[in-house]
Structure 1
């Protein structure tokens, strides 16, 4: 059993598979930390309109918050849930949160997608596996 489990979510159906496994592995008084990492675009060229970039970043944050809220609703009220929405590079942010929150386990879903989507989604999981010192449970679907 684990006292603190970090569940990163990107809002995809694949990230929902962690719910059942987390409930099996969470200790009685444990905590689930649900994290969604929003992209952040910088207006760093004259061709970028700062207002448009700011609006896009706000939308990314709204989407990330919706992802976290949707995942949190799957758990009943007896589960201690902490919701986090941060901007950054997904793999690095996941590992930083795992370290800062001193989690026992990072639970992350494999997408099972193919082609270019598999490369990008798989690269986040692969990078987390390479840079974390925490235990990672890869959920296949």
Structure 2
């Protein structure tokens, strides 16, 4: 049913909780698990020198993905791919899905409502609305 499962991650707790679900499904279906970090380069003004900042974000994303890839392999699932791309988070995710023939997206969500969600937006919500493949959302359980 699922050959390639994508978990977009920013290294936060919601993505960490979603990883458990993604890994369970990958093991159940013997699917390749893709771990993706999108470096949001659209938040910077056009005239500002962003090279060092973007490099830092990319390094943080790379470290996050490499750490998760290693954790997945330690759990015995060798079919894992890690990647870091640039762009708007939701468009980066959807583009990755198309380019890599992803069958399922598993995403964490903070469960924001009201004004917080309106002001901050929701990458997960945008992906759910625009994705051509199924999206499993995992709500973050705060301590």
Scaled by the length of structure 1, the TM-score of the pair is 0.83
Which residue does 2:66 correspond to in 1?
A: 69
Aligned residue for 2:111, secondary structure, equals coil
Which residue does 1:8 correspond to in 2?
A: 8
Scaled by the length of structure 2, the TM-score of the pair is 0.82
Aligned positions, number? 136
Gaps of at least 5 residues in structure 2 are none
8 A Cα contact 1:109 1:138, kept in partner = yes
Separation in structure 1 between the aligned mates of residue 98 and residue 108 of structure 2, nearest angstrom: 19
Higher strand share: 1
Which residue does 2:105 correspond to in 1?
A: 106
8 A Cα contact 1:111 1:122, kept in partner = no
Which residue does 1:59 correspond to in 2?
A: 56
Gaps of at least 5 residues in structure 1 are none
Aligned residue for 2:73, secondary structure, equals coil
Which residue does 2:25 correspond to in 1?
A: 25
8 A Cα contact 2:23 2:33, kept in partner = no
In the TM superposition, what whole-angstrom CA distance separates every residue of 1:14-73 from its partner, at most 9, and x where no partner exists? 11012221232124532000000012266633xx3x3xx211110010111122122223
